Amino acid sequence: MLKLPLSLRTTMCLLFLFISFNSGGMLKMASAQRTWCIANPLTNISALLGNLDFACSHVDCQLIQQGGSCFYPNTPIHHASFAMNLYFQVMGRHSSHCDFRGSGLISLTDPSYESCSFHSEGDLAEAPPSATWCVAKPGSGEYILQQNINYACNYVDCSPTHDGGSCFNPTTLINHASFAMNLYYQTSAKNTASCDFRNSGLVVVNDPSSGDCTYASIRYVRYL
């Protein structure tokens, strides 16, 4: 057997310990946070359909076709979000892969529901931004979106989502619900629980604000 000087053996031993410790630490970090990509609720239908076409030319969109486990709800925002997420995952989860000309949001919460699973393999490729917002899950049904509006608007001012308000368009329940849910999240404890809404809320790390419509934010430093 090769005889190494004691000091070299000690160094190698320490190096081995360091590598084992470090790779264990990395594995733990990788499994601790997963990320997904979804469409911003403020995105209009033509932009959503554009995103759907683009993403589905790169990834397998079978699950959102009729008979697939993610076909329902059959809405552009849900189908676009599903395809945008697959594209984001396949490309390696850089924020640029969830940009879609400013219409994508990176979620820290799993958008899966019932039998529809949104795949994720891990955290963002870059350091995550520190601010967070809350939006409705793209697969949420109309009933729960309306319930969330009724609940959150008891506590926060939802007038920007009323006719003539800066967040009225697009006139979809998911936009109006997301506005209300975010404001509720920002003004309450702003922990994951205040964006839960019976498992219909997602914590995202990009500002959904667009045009004149502002989704409020209170900056904080803790990464969930």
Ligand X SMILES: *[C@@H]1O[C@H](CO)[C@@H](O)[C@H](O)[C@H]1NC(C)=O
Contact positions toward ligand X, by CB under 6 A? 44, 46-47
Residue nearest to ligand X (CB): 44
- Whether omega for the bond prior to residue 129 falls within 30 degrees of 0, making it cis, is no
Where b means 16+ CB within 10 Å and e means fewer, 80-101 reads bbbbbbbbbbeeebebebbebe
Q: Decide whether 124 or 174 has the Cβ nearer to ligand X.
A: 174
Q: At closest approach, how far in Å is the CB of 169 from ligand X?
A: 8
Cβ(198)–Cβ(146) under 8 Å? no
Q: Decide whether 183 or 213 has the Cβ nearer to ligand X.
A: 213
d(CA 85, CA 117) in angstroms, rounded, equals: 11
d(CA 183, CA 175) in angstroms, rounded, equals: 12
Q: Decide whether 7 or 46 has the Cβ nearer to ligand X.
A: 46
Q: At closest approach, how far in Å is the CB of 46 from ligand X?
A: 5
Q: At closest approach, how far in Å is the CB of 195 from ligand X?
A: 25
Q: At closest approach, how far in Å is the CB of 95 from ligand X?
A: 18
d(CA 104, CA 99) in angstroms, rounded, equals: 5
Q: Decide whether 38 or 195 has the Cβ nearer to ligand X.
A: 38
Q: At closest approach, how far in Å is the CB of 162 from ligand X?
A: 20
Cβ(34)–Cβ(117) under 8 Å? no
Q: Decide whether 47 or 158 has the Cβ nearer to ligand X.
A: 47
